[in-house]
Structure 1
Amino acid sequence: MPSRDIRRVKQKKSEKVTDVEKKIQHHPLIYAFSLVILIIIVVTFIGSPVARYIGGTEKIVFGRYGNKPIEFLPGNYLSRQKDLIAEQLRQTDTSGNVKWQAYRVWRAAFEKTAILTGILLEAERSGLHITEEKVDRAIVQYGPYMEDGEFSERLYRETPNEERATTRQLFRENLIHEQYLNDMIYNLKYSPEETDFVKKMAGPERKFHFIQYTFKVFPADMVIEYGKEHSELFRQIKLSRITINTSKSDAEKILKQLADQQASFQDLAATQSQDAFAEKGGEMGWRRYYSLEEDFKSEEDLKRVFNMKKGEISTVIEMTFGWSIFKCDEEAVEPDFTNEETEQEVRRYMERFEAGMIEDYLLEKARDFRSKAEQIGFELAGEVGGLPVNETTFFPINYSNLFFLKQVRSATEGTSLGNAAYSEDFFIKLFSLKEKEVSEPVLLNDRIVVAQMLEERHPKEEELEQLELFYPQIINQFRQEDLIIYFLTSEKLEDNFDEVFSKLFNYNE
C-alpha cells in the first residue's frame, strides 16, 4: 500500500467516523456483531503474528466445500479458529475429558471454516466485490500495524511482503464475510404485519393442573415377570475382545499369533485392537446378551460366544463394525431376578425396546383417573389415587419452546413435563379444553399426562411491547440458524471430519 494511499485513507478516516456513528445509531446490535467478526481476527493477529506460521507446511484436509478444500495449515483460518475456541473452552469446560474437548474444538473450527468457505464461494458466484480502498481502510483502522492507537507506517514497511499479503487476504475475506451477512441477514426488511403475527403467538396463555404416570411407576412384579419370560436376553458373560476394522485376513493373522502363542491376548489387544477396549487389554467386563445383539451380524455367532468356556478363544467373527476375536474371562451365568440391579436392567431394556407394553398399562391407569376426576374433581381424584397434583406456569401454544415466548414448564418444584413442548398432541388436547375440563391422556415420551385447564389470560401489554422491540434481534437469530443449516447440510459440503480426526488423533482407541 503506497504512502499516498495511506495518507488518503487517513484523510478519509474522519469522514468514516461520521458514517460509523450514523450506522451505530441506526442498527446498534447489527453493527456491533459485524465489528466483533473483524475484531476477533484482528486480536488473533495481535496475539499470534502471521510470521510465526509462514514456515509451517503441514496440511490436514478435513473435507471440501465446492472446489475449495477445508484444511488445516499453521496460521490459516481453521488454525486460528481452533486456537480461539480452545481458549474459550478452557475457561468453561472443567470435565477433564481431553479427547471430548479436543473433538469439540476441532469440530467447531471445521464447521466455522466450512461456513466461511461456503460464504466466500456464494459471494464469488453472486459477483460480490470489495474494493481495494475498503480493504486499505480496514487495515489502517483495525490491522496489526498499530502503534499507540494509530496506524504505523514504520511497522507496515518493516513487515515482510508475504506477511502483508496474508494479512490483506484475511481482511478482504473478512469484509466479504461481513458484507454477505449484512445482505443475507441484518439488512433484510420485515413488515409490521409480521411483527403483529408474532405478537399474536404470545397469547392466549393458559395454566393447568396435571398429574403424570412416569415409566418408573410400572410395577416391579411385571418387570420381573417379563424378565423371567425372556431370561435368555439377560444372561451375562465376562469377555475380552480384539477388534480389527481393516480386513478379515488381518484379523486372522492376529488369531494365528494367539494360536502360536507369540503373544498374550491382553498384549495383542493393547497393541493391535482398534476399539475402545484396547487400552484395557481388550477387557469388556460383564455383558448382557441383549446388549451385544446389535453388534453381531449373526445371532448364531453370538450364541456360540455365550457358550464358550472360561479361557476359550473364539474364531474370527464378523461384526457390524469389523472383525472381532473374543476371549471368555468368565462363563455365562443366568440372571438373578431377586437382585435389584437385575430388575433395573430389565426395566431399562423394557423402556427402550418394549415401551408400548408400559404405555398400554399407564394409559389404562390414566383413563381411569380421568373418569374419576370428572366424577369427584381433579384434586380429590389425585388424593384418592395417591397422585401429586402439579401446576404449570402460564404459557401460550409454544411448540418447541421458542425462546422469545413463555416456556412450557411446571411450577411445582421437582417436577417436569418431559418433552411436552415438542408434542403437537399435547397442545391440541390442552388448548381445546374449557375451564375446569379434564383432558384425555397425553403420551409424552416416558410419561402419560392428564391435565385440567385452570385459567386463560392474555399477555400484558408491556410484554407485547418488549416482544416487538426485540423482534429484529429474534428474526436475525433465526436467519443465522437457517444460514448455518444451509451451509452445513449443503450437497456441496464434503464432510470427512470424523474419519480424518479419528485417524489422526486415534480417537476410537
Structure 2
Amino acid sequence: MVPFTPISKSRREKRAGRVRHTQNFMETSGKRKSSPENKAQKVSKDSSKPKDSRKSVKKTLVYAFSLAILIIIVVTFIGTPAVSMMAGPGRFVFGRYGNREIVYAQGNFFQRQYQALATQYRDSLGTDNIEAQLRLLWREAFNRAAFHAAVMVAADESGLVVSEDHVDRELAQRPEFQEDGRFSRERFLRMSSAERFSLRNFIRESLVYELYIDDLITGSLENPAELEFVTAMAENERQFSFVTFPFQEFPAENVRAYAEDNADLFRRINLSSITVRTSRAEAENIRTQAVDRVASFEDLARNHSDDRYATQGGERGWVYYYELEPDFADPAALEPVFSLDAGQISPVIETLNGWVIYRVEEPVEPFDLDGSLSVVRQYMDAFERGIIEDTVRARAEEFRAQALADGFSEAASGLGVAPSETAYFPINYGNQQLFRRVSSPSDETFARAAFQTDFFVEAFSLPSDGVSSPIVMGDSVRVLKLQAERTAGEDTLDDVQHAFPRSVQQFQSNQLENAVFDHDRFDDRFNQVYSSNEFQRFLFGG
C-alpha cells in the first residue's frame, strides 16, 4: 500500500468543514459525483469506466440479468427503499485486507456497491448465461469492497479521522431525509436506531475514504516546472521518410549455406520415449522390462512415463535433432540414438530433467536439403536471429552509404522501392496518449519504434536532411531521413496542458490500485464463498 501523506491541520479542517462533492480520483471528466455509494466505482482492477450508451454497456460489461433473476434478486436489493437497508438476512466474509474483513452485510459498503451496480445495469437485460453474469456483477462489487477495505486500513494506520460534525452535515444532505429542500428531522427519526447507526458508519467510512484518496491523488499539488517541461516535450515534432529491410528478405542462398554447414541439426528420426524423473535405477528397471518384453513399451510409457507423450504410449513421431538437443547438457549423448535401427531401444540417457529411454520407430532419414529449406529458415528465425540481423543490417548500411552519396529517394529508387513516411510526432516513448503517437499511415508496424530508446536517440539527433544509421525494429531494419520539423500548434499544447494533471492522477491511481490488489495482505476468498451452498441459498433461495 502506498503510505499516507499527512496534510496540515488547517487544510484538513477546511476540507472537513464542507460537504464534499469532489471528483472521484479515477474520473477524468468534470462531472459531479452523485453519492458516496459510487466513490469506488472507478478504481476496480478488473473494470473500466462503462460507456453511457446501452450498446457500449452490453459490449464492455456482461453484468446483465434475465427478468426472472431480476424478480428474485433485484427486487430484494434494488426495490427496497434506502431507509430499510437493515432488512433481510445475510452476512458473508469474502476475504480480508490486513486486519479488516471484506464483508457483505445489509447497509454496508459492499452491499451498497452491489446495489449501485445492479441499479446501473438492470436495464441491460440478457437471457444467456444468467448465473455467469450474476457472478461477474458480484465479483465487481467485491473488487470495489476490497479496494475500499485496503484504503480504510491505510487510513487507519495513518491516523486519519473525520469529525462527527462532518458526518452530521453529510448525513443531513441525504436525499431520503429531504423535504421541500431542507433536512426533515421527522423523516430521519422514522429510521430505526440500528439503521441510523449503520448509515452513520457508512458515511464516516466514505468520508475517510475520500479524504485519503483526495490527499494522495487528487490533492497533490501541481508543479509548474514539471508542466512546463512536459509541454516543451510536445513542442518539437518531426516527420521522417524511411526505407524498410525486412528479415523475411534474408537471401535463400544464405539459408542453403547455413543448412549445408549444419546438416546434422536437421536429421530426422521417428521415436517413442519414456521419461523418468525419480531415479536412474527406476529408469534402468523400466528399460529392462521393455527389452525383456515383460511389458510392452507402450504400456510402460502409459504407466511410468512422466511427459506429455505418456497417454499415447510414448509415441513422439518424427522429430529433428535440433528439437531434442536442448534437453541434454551434452548433446553428444544423442548420437547413439540416431544410429539405431527400427525397433531398437536406446540405453537410459540422462537429460536436464531426469532420464529418458527411446525406441526407434523408423531410422534416420537422409537429409533432404531442398525439402528442408523452409524448416531451416524457421530454425534460423527462432535460434539464429543474430545471423539474419547482421546480414540485413549490412544491406541497410550499403543503402545508407548510397543515400548519403546520391540522395535518399535516388538510393531507394535504385532498390526498386518507394520510401514511406511517418506522421508528425514528438519524443513519445511508449506512445503515451498525452502526445501525438509515433505512427506511419502506410506501415502499422512502425508504431513499435515508440518502445525503443535507440530509435528516439537516433531519430531526434538527426540534422536537417540527415540520414540515420540502420535501426533494428522488430523483424526488420529501417533507415530514416529527417523529412520535416515543426512546432506543435497552440491547440495541441493546450490539450497537453489540460490532460497532463489527469494523466498524473491516472498514473498515481493505477499505482495505488496495484499496490492494493497485489499486496501480500490481501486475502481473496471470493470464489470459495460465492460457490458455497450457504451463499447460493442466499442468492436463489431454497
TM category, shorter:
0.5 to 0.7
Task: Say which of 484, 501, 512 aligns to 1:455.
Answer: 484
> Kindly tell me: are residues 20 and 355 of structure 1, through their superposed partners in 2, closer, same or farther at Cα, counting changes over 3 Å?
same
Q: For 1:433 and 1:47, how far apart are their aligned partners in 2?
A: 67
**Residue 368 of structure 2: aligned partner:** 336
Q: What residue number does 2:318 align with? A: 286
* Residue of structure 2 in register with 1:443 after alignment: 472
Q: Deviations over 1:400-459 (max 9, x none)?
A: 2223212222222x5633742222222222222233222222233432211111110111
Question: What CA distance in whole angstroms lies between the structure 2 residues aligned with 1:304 and 1:129?
Answer: 76
Show the 5 A alignment for 1:487-506. Answer: none
Retained in 2: the 8 A contact 1:251–1:324?
no
AA at the equivalent of 1:441: P
Q: CA deviation at 1:23?
A: 5.2
Among 275, 290, 302, the alignment partner of 1:268 is 302
1:304-326 superposed Cα distances (whole Å, 9 cap, x missing partner): 44445444555655544555554
1:66-465 to structure 2, matched below 5 A, reads 122-123=154-155, 125-128=157-160, 180-243=212-275, 247-248=278-279, 252=283, 255=286, 259=290, 260-261=294-295, 264-265=298-299, 268=302, 275-277=307-309, 282-314=314-346, 317-321=349-353, 324-339=356-371, 342-412=372-442, 414=443, 416-417=445-446, 419-465=448-494
Pair 263,334 (structure 1): closer, same or farther in 2 beyond 3 Å: closer
CA distance in 2, matches of 1:276, 1:369: 49
Q: Which moved more, 1:220-229 or 1:234-243?
A: 234-243
CA distance in 2, matches of 1:441, 1:36: 53
Equivalent-residue separation in structure 2 for 1:385 and 1:345 (angstroms): 29
The match for 2:85 is none
Partner SS for 1:19:
coil
Q: What is the aligned counterpart of 2:503 among 474, 478, 491? A: 474
* Aligned positions, number: 433
Q: CA deviation at 1:233?
A: 1.5
- Larger radius of gyration, structure 1 or 2? 2
The 2-side partners of 1:194 and 1:388 are apart by: 42
Give, in whole Å, the separation in 2 of the partners of 1:26 and 1:398. 21
Change in Cα spacing, 1:67 to 1:22, as seen in structure 2 (3 Å) is closer
Indicate conservation of the 8 Å contact 2:440/2:447, yes or no.
no
Is this contact kept in 2: 1:209–1:389, CA < 8 A? yes
* 1:3-50 deviation digits (Å, cap 9, x = unpaired): xxxxxxxxxxxxx9x935455799847958986564599x9996999x
Give me the TM-score of the superposition, normalised by structure 2: 0.60
Q: Deviations over 1:245-294 (max 9, x none)?
A: 6x33796499379633178348716xx65554456555444332223333
Structure-1 residue corresponding to 2:19: 19
From the superposition, tell whether residues 300 and 464 of structure 1 become closer, same or farther in structure 2 (CA, over 3 Å). same
Indicate if the aligned counterparts of 1:203 and 1:397 stay in contact, CA closer than 8 A.
Answer: no
Q: Distance in 2 between matches of 1:250 and 1:32?
A: 72
Q: Is the 8 A contact 2:273 2:301 kept in 1?
A: no
CA displacement at 1:394 relative to structure 2: 0.8
Q: Which amino acid aligns with 2:460?
A: F
Rounded to whole Å, the distance in 2 between the matches of 1:205 and 1:482 is 30
Which runs of 5 or more structure 2 residues have no equivalent in the other structure? 1-15, 45-62, 65-72, 78-87, 103-109, 125-139, 176-186, 524-542
Q: State percent identity of aligned pairs.
A: 30
CA–CA distance in structure 2, aligned partners of residues 443 and 391 of structure 1: 17
Q: Deviations over 1:56-113 (max 9, x none)?
A: x9x9x9xx9989999xxxxxx9xx99xx9xxx9xx9xxxxxxxxxxxxxxxx999999
CA-to-partner distance for each residue in 1:467-500, whole Å, 9 max, x for gaps? 222222211222234345656887x6899xxxxx
Q: 1:217 to 1:398 in 2, by over 3 A?
A: same
Which residue is 2:531 aligned to?
none
Normalization by structure 1: what TM-score? Answer: 0.64
CA RMSD of aligned residues (A): 5.8
Whole-Å separation in 2 of the counterparts to 1:292 and 1:122: 53
